Amino acid sequence: MFYLRERKDIEEAIALFSTAKILWVDTEVADYKSRQPRLSLIQVLTDGGEIRGDRVYLLDVLDSQENADIFIKKIMTNSQIEKVFHNAKYDVKFLGKKAAKNITCTLEIAKKLPYYLLPLPNLTLKTL
């Protein structure tokens, strides 16, 4: 797992992300119960088959909206890269809103499946 805070390191990671066909993305938000929640972490997995965490990147953008903006501009608006989220509606509010392209939401997919095909007590990411 890579924990990145410095702009140079984040830009290098984003350059790597820009070569991917699919990225699995999640966000963490500070002050989420306030009127002004702030994007804190952008978590990116570059290989869906990876189970050890070797290809997980944590971009700490809490104190640098500029770093978040670089991610939005180079990754979120890039229609050539599929971005997979669970509850994308929430995450995309912090990652480019309507400018975000090629978004897949596992929660929305799960909601469309009938209960007999997906007999789960809830549709949280942990359960799925």
Average pLDDT, the chain: 90
* pLDDT at residue 47 tops 80: no
Name residues whose C-beta falls within 8 Å of residue 45's C-beta, 6 or more positions apart in sequence: 23, 24, 25, 55, 56, 57
Q: For residue 23, what is the DSSP state?
A: E
Higher pLDDT, 34 or 79: 79
Q: What CATH number labels 2-112?
A: 3.30.420.10
Give the pLDDT mean for 25-38. Answer: 89
Give the pLDDT mean for 7-21. Answer: 96
Q: Tell me what pLDDT residue 120 has.
A: 81
* pLDDT at residue 39 tops 70: yes
Token look-up 């890269």 returns 81
Which stretches within the chain are classed as H helix?
A: 7-17, 65-71, 88-92, 106-112
pTM over 0.75: yes
Nearest to 57 by CA among 120, 13, 106: 13
